[in-house]
A and B are shown apart, each in its own frame.
Chain A
Amino acid sequence: MRRNIRALSFMSLVTVAAVGAQSVPQRENRSVVVASKPFGESYLLCEMFAQVLESRGLSVERRPGLGATEIAFGALRTGAIDVYPEYTGTGLIAILHDSLSDSVLADPRAVFAHVAKRFADEYRVLWLPPLGFQNTYAIAVTQATAGKYHLHTLSDLARESPHLTAGFTADFIGRSDGLVGLSRVYGLHPRAVRPLAPAVKYQALASGAVDVIDGYSTDGLLARYDLVTLVDDRHFFPPYEAAALVTEKLETQMPAAVSALTLLSGRLDENTMRRLNRRVEVDGEDVRVVARDELTTLGLIGGGRAASAVERQGHSGFGRYLWDRRLDLAAMTLRHLLLVGLALLAAVFVAVPLGLFLERTRRLAEPIIGSLGVLQTIPSIALLAFMIPLLGVGVTPALVALWLYALYPIARGTYTGVRDADPDAVGAAEALGTTPVQRLLWVRLPLAAPVIMAGIRTAAVITVGAATLAAFIGAGGLGEPIVAGLALADTRMILSGALPAAALALAVDGVLALVERMVAPAHRRERIWQRRGSQALADDALRTPAV
């Protein structure tokens, strides 16, 4: 998870300047963008891809933890990323929505050939030769549950399912090769289904909060909790062979990158992956160390430098943990602040004039502000996912999504504030011959300033929170350790993002509270600098800006 600091701090500035850079024609010696989905094994494979590429002298940009299948694959199709690890079964069912005869399904090679051909034809996306292991769904229960209900197979589970509560990942619940298909094929209908983050489902199962979960067969945690994996007796799950998924563009533009990635093909078997996942998920080792150790063992990279103290240290104190990562955290905080600041600034530039315009055309006001309000009800992660086909992944879609969230409170505050600004004062100013612009600048805006600022403060705090989710589409910021920590079941990592984010929300709110006091109408400001001489008084009377 520890990232290249230099790249981060540059990225925060460069990506800001080069918004929309994804559409610029690519240069030959650009970085390879390596991504992953948000779970431990995907992070590990992403890191292995990255290190192999770097060992061959290629520069790499890491975008781990992209939302879920739709977001990661969407990013690949639009060329926002170049490579991420995927599984043939997922490609077949969740992406192609395809079905194959049982005889074909029984043969992983045939499934791979079929999926690879359709991806190349339809999406111009290539499957590199499989890495050498399968990671299928492992529907798991505790020993106690298995004993109590006599569960050995998924058919047994289906029979007892009305008595059981399931804890499944959101991805699994919605997928046709997940709960949907299991219900159809086995008649599985649990008493309740709770959507759980991958990182917490083992704990939820162990604590008895749920009775059955969807694990992965190579999960490091599967062994730790001594769980029973139920047999897929009707051969419902297709083979899930892991492989690198790359864009055709990468092959034509940077064949060296594709050759480097192919070096991993056939080199990782299931025992190896289970062992590596265990080091990451159970022992809490740094993904970079685990990846480098394994690549060295495989002879794919040189011995490399010795692991730094940060990477070696196991479970020392949280304060120490934060201190060791202070530069990364500072860079992520800065990036977070930039995301929030830019989105907020853009929202102010649009929503304040919009609020003023709506105040003049009252009939449109409620419908338009109402529809901005509806945007607030779209879950952030869904809004971010909508952005990918339009804007790819990274900073641009995140900024647009955050900007959309910030519009409503600011537009509402401006409209209400200006509409309700002291009607007597506004009326008198009109009767005495002020122009509409003068009334706006001299009377309505100054009197509405506190309400407008309250809207901006609300928007700022919302944006600081929503920006943590931007990590799901590779925009970085303090969401990065949160997303990674969730994927790797690392509480310290989650907190190392969540606590600074909370502090940032408080700080931003506090700073804007000061601004609010500064822009308050003069008569409501504190009377500190009020005692002035008569000359200052005369100047004051004349200081009215010319409009």
Chain B
Amino acid sequence: MPLSLAARNVSHRFGNVVALDDVSVDVPAGRAVALVGESGSGKTTLLRCFNRLVEPLRGEVSVGDRNVRTQPAVLLRRGIGYVQQHGGLLPHWRVLRNVALVPILREMPDPTDAARQALELVGLPASDFGNRFPHELSGGQRQRVALARSIAAQPGVILLDEPFGALDAISRADLQESFDAMRHDLAVTTLLVTHDLAEAGRLADEVVVMRAGRVEQHGTMRTLISAPATEYVARLIERARAGLEALRL
């Protein structure tokens, strides 16, 4: 069952560096929101607040209308899917076991079966791929396995931190396509961090543009394009458009 996400007036700093400055973001259950911004904008820090990898100094973070601090971090995380840029598969575990990790942690009755189904969903049948080690796969296949691992226990939320950032353009487009289809099938709440506005527009229902720890604008891609709230947002869109124009020649 999809869960809503909410951050209210969240602030955080690392030493003297302000990472988040009074940020509030809502993701309704079942929706997909993309956090967009350059490095240091605070988008990854905000994402990591939801599974308590970052404990913000001020403000309230909740998952499924429940403050994350009221539950043990380990249990909270087992209910949230997570994919990072470099997969983070356990290199000494075969694919099937990697994907079965969260079902095993949650002591589900048949972790292997859950893992098989998840692999099927990302287009890597367990019969072909389950017995391989991660290093025997291509970069795109590895990210698919990471994606399968994040959904194998059927979480209500998945957090994606630049999940396609390290892939070549074709694998990237393929994977975006599979992910989009999968997300709608599973009706899972999604929070996606990316620096690529086009990716955000393609995968997310709404986009949050962040800069220097603050939210510049939160809205649909259509709103961002038609009515950019700040000069920064306007420039960001101009840039992305210029990139596409270049291809048209």
In the complex, what's the smallest C-beta–C-beta distance from A417 to chain B, in angstroms?
13
Q: Which among A103-111, A230-238, A284-292, A431-439 touches the partner chain?
A: A431-439
Q: Separation in Å of the A185 CB from the closest CB of chain B? A: 68
Query: Which of A431, A523, A541 is within 8 Å of B92, CB to CB?
Result: A523
Residue of B nearest to A442 (CB): B90
**Cross-chain contact A435 with B74 (CB below 8 angstroms):** yes
CA distance A447 to B78 in the complex (A): 23
Query: In the assembly, what is the distance between CA of A428 and CA of B150, in Å?
Result: 10
Q: Which stretch, A246-254, A391-399, A503-511, A531-539, touches the partner chain B?
A: A531-539
Which residues of B67-97 are within 8 A (CB) of A?
Answer: 74-79, 82, 84, 86-94, 96-97
Q: Which residue of A lies closest to B104 (CB)?
A: A544
B90 pairs with A429, CB closer than 8 A: yes
Contact: B111 with A521, CB < 8 Å? no
Given contacts A428-B82, A431-B51, A431-B82, contact A447 B92 (CB under 8 A): yes
Chain A neighbourhood of B78, CB < 8 A: 432-433
- Chain A contact residues: over half helix, strand or loop, or mixed? helix
Is B102's CB under 8 angstroms from A428's CB?
no
A532-B131, A538-B112, A541-B111 given as contacts; is B53 within 8 A of A425 (CB)? Answer: no
Residue of B nearest to A538 (CB): B112
Interface size range of chain B in the complex: 35 or more
Within 8 A of A (CB), among B98-119: 100-102, 104-105, 111-112, 115
Q: Is the CB of B77 within 8 A of A432?
A: yes
B96 with A540: CB separation less than 8 A: yes
Cβ-defined contact, A432 with B82, below 8 A:
yes
From B75, B131, B146, give the contact of A537 (CB < 8 A): B131
CB distance from A534 to the nearest CB of B (A): 7
Residue-wise interface mask of A (491-513) relative to B, using a CB-CB cutoff of 8 A (1 in contact, 0 not): 00000000000000000000000
Q: Across the interface, do A537 and B94 meet the contact criterion of CB distance under 8 Å?
A: yes
Q: Does A424 contact B (CB under 8 A)?
A: yes
Interface string of B129-140 (1 = CB under 8 A from A): 011011100000
| Complex Cα gap A541–B97 (Å) | 4
Q: Is the C-beta of B9 less than 8 angstroms from some C-beta in chain A?
A: no
Contacts of A432 in B (CB 8 A): 77-78, 82, 101-102, 105, 149-150
- A270 is an interface residue with CB less than 8 A from chain B: no
**Residues of chain A in range 398-439 having any CB-CB distance to chain B below 8 Å:** 422, 424-425, 427-435, 438
Instruction: For the complex formed, measure the closest distance between the CB of B204 and the CB atoms of chain A, giving whole angstroms.
Output: 21
Contact with A along B4-42 (1 / 0, CB 8 A): 000000000000000000000000000000000000000
Interface residues of A (CB under 8 A from B): 422, 424-425, 427-435, 438, 442-443, 446-447, 521-524, 530, 532, 534, 537-538, 540-542, 544
10 further A-B contacts with Cβ under 8 Å, apart from A438-B105, A544-B97, are A425-B91, A429-B88, A429-B101, A433-B77, A433-B105, A434-B105, A537-B94, A537-B96, A541-B97, A541-B111
Interface residues of B (CB under 8 A from A): 51, 53, 74-79, 82, 84, 86-94, 96-97, 100-102, 104-105, 111-112, 115, 127, 130-131, 133-135, 146, 149-150
